[in-house]
Structure 1
Amino acid sequence: MSIDDTLARYSDLAYETASAVYALVLLLLIVQYASARARQVTERELVPAGGVAAGSDTPGKISEEPRAPLSERLGNIAFSVLFVAVGLQIASIVLRGFATGRFPLGNMYEFVSMATAAAAVVGLVFMRDQRYRGMWAFLLVPMLILMFLAGTVLYSDAAPVVPALQSFWLPLHVTIVSIGSGVFLVSGIASLLFLYRLRQPEGAESGNVLGAVARRLPDARTLDRLAYRTTIIGFPLFGAGVILGAIWAEAAWGRFWGWDPKETCSFIAWVLYAAYLHARATSGWRDTKAAWINVAGFVAMLFNLFIINLVVSGLHSYSGLT
């Protein structure tokens, strides 16, 4: 099977550009936070005890309609630019598929690209409300780390897949698992921020940097609901991926399940997410205990992605690295 080198280069260029645009969005969100923080400090200094802020309306004075604060405008720009980054990343995946003449999920580079794109799309669906703007920075950091690793350490040139992956099961099994992994990325970050938010309540001291960062996030209940809602979507997706993988294993290796390291770790992650959903519905476990179980599931997913694929040898060693 011939490889279209031109399309492969365009795919890599789109991926690199998407990474740069994601980094720009993260920078805009950091500047947004800094400007909002500076504005709050300035207002506290200018408002005397019992007075009104400088520039505010006073009796007998007609003021123009106030302009949106710089922090709000930066947040709107960042959210708009985010769509460009997602579009570029999806274009990169599509071009990779056309360049290789196969479904673009044959190695870890392609898997991570699909998973991070899925995380971004899920974020756009569930975090489009302005109250989630402060959370986007925390989601983009792990996304950029994963994309950097995929584009450097895990990168593989456009090429045909190994014979074991030349099956119609590849688009079904790996696509569902990668999308489920992206959904779990959003869920795991939401639970981590939920635990962080509980430690920094609304009444935190204004001079406390950690408290100031926490106030830019949604409230703890909102973060907990986001983690729960996304896990409800990711859990059946990942479960379906595991089941389809077992069917593929029977067709390829003559058995449904062989306790291969990848299979075992995937099953452990699936059980952890099942335990989280059960704990989330159980009185007394809904808060921190359930959130920690969700974080454990997230860690198991990362362990499965990196340690199992790169360190432990098994039947699923298709990272594409040499």
Structure 2
Amino acid sequence: MSVENLSAVGIVTAAVLYMLAFLAHAVEWASVRGTEHPSHEERLRSETWGRMGLNLTVLGAACAAIGVVCRGIAAHRLPWGNMYEFVTSALFFVVIAYLVLVAIHHVRWMGIAVTLLLAVGNGLAATVFYVAVAPLVPALHSVWFVIHIVAACIAAAALNVGAIASIMYLIATNAQAKAQRTGVPVKGLVAKLPPLESMDALAYRAHAIGFPIWTFTIAAGSVWADYAWGRFWGWDPKETWSLVTWVVYAAYLHARSTAGWRGRRAALIAIVGAACFWFNFVGVNLIFNGLHSYAGI
């Protein structure tokens, strides 16, 4: 088996393991669904499935690491030359950020959403975005390209953690609102989510970290654009949507710091930001023609 094939197997295996982890977390949630006071056996079963989901995520991360590293070895360069490589690398940063947070802040409650993102993303990379190893186009031969992509991957990790925390916040608030209307207490694992203030604070901190890194990503990209194409900014579709994404996240932080927007309204803005981020990351390459077309499939 060639190193390139080993890389592909690593990514496919990671996608499968992430999907199994998602299913394990789904069973974890279902084990106490609709139960206000779960029995000891139900809690034990839920905990067992949760740990299984986390262990499968760790194995998936290891396989993804093999996939990314072997891709770089096969290409004799950093594995960031096309959309397949961008997506697999960015998702690897996301899973590492999640596992670090699990170890430090015990955020396994994010696992069901994180593993779904990882499974779908790596699955699409392996089946739709995959391209054979090829040399870099001349525009990518720059240290600023490396700086730009590393910053983008770190920003992806922080901003996606913030988006997932926002999604879980909305799930919890909707469950609590329904409980108030019906008089039926919140049940199952939703009742075991952290306090709303904790999830909201995690989302805010993640975005507060990710936004300046995304700002630096755009700045580094502008320097690289001047090096590669002789201009800092040209309203290329990728550049335009990078700015749109920046504006949405700027609005999120501004609304929180000046207008006092927290909770549901802030979470909705964060989710819009994540949608813009992934459209810029993937959709722009598939739909529009521009100087970044080399990053497509």
Structure-1-length-normalised TM-score: 0.83
Check conservation: 1:194, 1:224, Cα contact below 8 A.
Answer: yes
Confirm or deny that 1:169 pairs with 2:165: no
Shift of 1:301: 0.7
Equivalent in the alignment of 2:82? 107
What do the CA deviations read for 1:47-90 (whole angstroms, capped 9, x no partner)? xxxxxx9xxxxxxxxxxxx9981221222232233222112212
* Counterpart Cα distance in 2 of 1:202 and 1:293: 20
Q: Which residue of 2 aligns with 1:12?
A: 8
The CA RMSD over aligned residues, in Å, is: 2.7
> Which whole-Å CA distance do the structure 1 matches of 2:122 and 2:165 have between them?
20
Instruction: Check conservation: 2:14, 2:122, Cα contact below 8 A.
Output: no
What's the offset of the Cα at 1:154?
0.9
Q: How many angstroms apart in 1 are the aligned matches of 2:226 and 2:247?
A: 22
1:116-265 alignment to 2 at 5 Å? 116-128=91-103, 132-201=107-176, 204=179, 212=188, 214-265=190-241
Q: Is the 8 A contact 2:33 2:189 kept in 1?
A: no
Question: Structure 1: which 5+ runs fail to align?
Answer: 44-52, 54-65
Per the alignment, do residues 296 and 35 of structure 1 end up closer, same or farther by CA in structure 2, a change over 3 Å counting? closer
Verify the 8 A CA contact 1:103 1:170 in the aligned structure 2. no
Could you say which residue in structure 2 is the equivalent of 1:50?
none
Please tell me the residue identity of whatever aligns with 1:226: L
Structure 2 distance, partners of 1:78, 1:130, is 17
Alpha-carbon offset, residue 161 of structure 1: 2.0
Q: What's the CA shift for 1:237?
A: 1.5
Equivalents in 2 of 1:96, 1:196: separation in Å? 38
The change in CA–CA distance for 1:218 and 1:254 in structure 2 (over 3 A counts) is: same
Residue 282 of structure 2, aligned match among 293, 297, 306: 306
Distance 1:164 1:279, change over 3 A: same
Aligned AA for 1:191?
Answer: S
Query: What is the count of residue pairs matched by the alignment?
Result: 295
CA deviation string 1:189-248 (max 9, x = no partner): 21122122212118836989x964532533322221111111122112111111111001
1:315 equivalent to 2:291? Answer: yes
* Residues 71, 7 of structure 1: alpha-carbon distance in 2 compared, 3 angstrom cutoff: same
- TM-score between the two structures when normalised by the length of structure 2: 0.89
Q: 2:246 aligned to 251, 270, 276, which one?
A: 270
For the residues of structure 1 that align with 2:171 and 2:225, how far apart are their CA atoms?
Answer: 41
Q: Offset at 1:38?
A: 7.9
Shift of 1:34: 2.5
2:93, 2:44 → 1: CA distance?
A: 32
- For the structure 1 residues 283 and 141, does the alpha-carbon distance in structure 2 shift closer, same or farther, using more than 3 Å as the test? same
- Give yes or no for contact 1:135–1:218 (8 Å, CA) kept in 2: no
- The amino acid across from 1:286 in the alignment is R
Equivalent-residue separation in structure 2 for 1:42 and 1:175 (angstroms): 45
Q: What amino acid does structure 2 have at the position aligned with 1:102?
A: R
In the TM superposition, residue 178 of structure 1 has moved relative to its aligned partner by: 2.4
C-alpha deviation, 1:31, in angstroms: 2.0
Distance in 2 between the 1:38 and 1:277 partners?
A: 36
Per the alignment, residue 59 of structure 1 pairs with: none
* Alignment-derived partner of residue 31 in structure 2: 35
Larger radius of gyration: 1
